[in-house]
């Protein structure tokens, strides 16, 4: 639970920086989001969505959904719709992989 809350807090700070940060802070938040997005794509493509990752995703989905929604809002509002689309797609694919690994989807 603590890991999920820490990652949610970091995501919220990054999203707020995209929305309200000065030019340098905004740029920093954009590049951090892009780096995390690339890592998410690598994790999904390498099949890293297994075991403990699946358990944590399915247990704390109620934290992840609003956090991802706020991140998408911040990206779209700060004029980064391409990155927002990529974040949405990889989040969807990771969630689908977790559901499939848990047997929720066949």
Note the pLDDT tens digit of each residue in 20-71.
Answer: 989 999 999 999 999 999 999 999 999 999 988 889 888 988 999 999 999 9
Q: How far apart are CA 62 and CA 24, in angstroms?
A: 32
CA atoms within 13 A on the CB side of 91: 17
Using left for φ > 0, alpha for ψ between -120 and 50, and beta otherwise, residue 22 falls in: beta
Position 46 scores a pLDDT of: 96
Average pLDDT, the chain: 93
End-to-end CA distance of the chain: 28
Q: Stretch 93-102: mean pLDDT, rounded?
A: 92
């Amino acid at each position: 639970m603590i890991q999920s809350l820490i990652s949610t807090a970091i995501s919220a700070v990054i999203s707020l920086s995209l929305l309200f940060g000065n030019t340098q802070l905004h740029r920093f938040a954009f590049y951090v989001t892009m780096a995390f997005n690339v890592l998410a794509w690598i994790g999904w493509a390498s099949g890293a969505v297994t075991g403990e990752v699946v358990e944590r995703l399915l247990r704390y989905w109620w934290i992840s959904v609003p956090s991802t929604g706020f991140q998408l809002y911040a990206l779209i509002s700060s004029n980064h719709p391409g990155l927002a689309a990529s974040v949405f797609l990889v989040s969807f694919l990771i969630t689908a992989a977790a559901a499939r690994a848990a047997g929720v989807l066949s």
